[in-house]
């Protein structure tokens, strides 16, 4: 694991953990197996610090970006189980992980080709406000499993998400709080769980092309004239708005 990252609530750093003898890491592996069999983490490992960091344009604390700082014992487990989740993640992303710049280029190329063919293109850019924070755990977990996520991974991740959270902003730390909503940005599985959660929405477009990157979505309509493109876009946006309100 990379050094130099913030310490988690457990106080460990990668270098400190690497310094332990093999007997200790063997014991940790046995702990991981036992916790997975039990389907639950010890209470101390479930703690998370949610740091509110600066975000361009933010004027209030509610507009800051929340980043979860998790236990290093959990982060090691994430690294161990990442390969087990890889095939699921690739299927979710259409066979390859595409960055936001590559996705923007592909969307732009799609529009340019349509223009060259004499077509008219309209695009709607959608953003799920506070998307990570509003997602309900049981629905997200079920959709992740429906798309092929290993049950152990989703169960252990959701147990972390429902643990105690300490909100930290401007040097102050709030009292612990917990709930049944919210993915933790800082968990390597959170982005894929969000992708699985939003998947029903991506299948709604009958007349448009849908692309998403984390919580940003792009809906594009192509028509023989501006009116046809607009009608296609509005038809699918109405359905997306209606269904997304029910699914979140």
Question: How far apart are the C-alpha atoms of 136 and 130, rounded to whole Å?
Answer: 12
User: Which residue has better confidence, 232 or 96?
Assistant: 232
Give bridge partners of residue 34 from the DSSP assignment.
none
Q: How confident is the model at residue 4, as a pLDDT?
A: 60
Tell me the DSSP string of 18-61: HTS-HHHHHHHHHHHHHHHHHT---GGGG-EEEEEE--TT--SG
Cα–Cα distances in angstroms (integers) from residue 153 to residues 10, 30, 81, 106, 160, in the given order: 21, 17, 8, 32, 11
Whether the per-residue pLDDT at 37 is higher than 90: the answer is: yes
User: Which residue has better confidence, 161 or 126?
Assistant: 161
Contacts of 240 (CB under 8 A, 6+ apart): 126, 201, 204, 205, 219
Q: How confident is the model at residue 3, as a pLDDT?
A: 61
Contact by Cβ (8 Å): 212, 98: no
Question: How far apart are the C-alpha atoms of 81 and 154, rounded to whole Å?
Answer: 11
Average pLDDT over residues 220-243: 91
Q: How confident is the model at residue 152, as a pLDDT?
A: 95
* Closest listed residue to residue 139, CA positions, set 40, 67, 244, 210: 244
Question: How far apart are the C-alpha atoms of 232 and 227, rounded to whole Å?
Answer: 9
How does the average pLDDT of the chain come out, rounded?
88
Average pLDDT over residues 221-233: 94
User: Which residue has better confidence, 128 or 190?
Assistant: 190
* Dihedral (CA of 164, 245, 199, 113) sign: negative
Whether the per-residue pLDDT at 16 is higher than 70: the answer is: yes
Least confident of 42-51, 73-82, 211-220: 211-220
Q: Phi-psi category of 3—alpha, beta or left, where left has phi over 0 and alpha has psi -120 to 50? A: beta
* Dihedral (CA of 169, 180, 46, 65) sign: negative
Q: What is the percent of the chain with per-residue pLDDT over 70, rounded to a whole number?
A: 96
Contacts of 145 (CB under 8 A, 6+ apart): 151, 154
Q: How confident is the model at residue 237, as a pLDDT?
A: 92
Q: Are strands 165-169 and 48-53 parallel, antiparallel or unpaired?
A: parallel
Token pair, residue 62, equals 């509610």
Whether the per-residue pLDDT at 197 is higher than 80: the answer is: yes
Whether the per-residue pLDDT at 8 is higher than 60: the answer is: yes
The model's pTM: 0.83
Q: How confident is the model at residue 52, as a pLDDT?
A: 86
Residue 177 DSSP label: B
Average pLDDT over residues 226-245: 88
């Amino acid at each position: 694991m990379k050094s130099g990252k913030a310490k988690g609530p457990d106080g460990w750093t990668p270098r400190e953990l690497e310094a332990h003898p093999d007997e200790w890491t063997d014991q940790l592996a046995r702990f991981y197996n036992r916790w997975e069999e039990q389907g639950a983490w010890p209470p101390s490992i479930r703690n998370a610090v949610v740091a509110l960091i600066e975000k361009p344009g933010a004027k209030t604390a509610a507009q800051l970006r929340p980043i979860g700082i998790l236990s290093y014992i959990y982060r090691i487990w994430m690294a161990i189980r990442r390969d087990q989740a890889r095939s699921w993640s690739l299927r979710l992303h259409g066979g390859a992980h595409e960055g936001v710049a590559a996705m923007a280029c592909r969307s732009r190329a799609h529009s340019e080709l349509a223009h060259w063919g004499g077509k008219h293109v309209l695009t709607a850019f959608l953003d799920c406000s506070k998307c990570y924070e509003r997602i309900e755990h049981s629905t997200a977990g079920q959709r992740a499993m429906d798309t092929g996520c290993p049950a152990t991974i989703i169960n252990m991740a959701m147990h972390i998400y429902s643990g105690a959270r300490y909100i930290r902003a401007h040097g102050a730390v709030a009292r612990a709080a917990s709930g049944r909503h919210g993915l933790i940005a800082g968990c390597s599985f959170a982005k894929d769980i969000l992708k699985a959660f939003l998947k029903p929405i991506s299948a709604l477009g009958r007349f448009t092309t849908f692309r998403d990157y984390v919580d940003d979505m792009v809906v594009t309509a192509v028509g023989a004239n501006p009116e046809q493109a607009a009608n296609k876009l509005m038809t699918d946006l109405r359905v997306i708005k209606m269904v997304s309100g029910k699914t979140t």
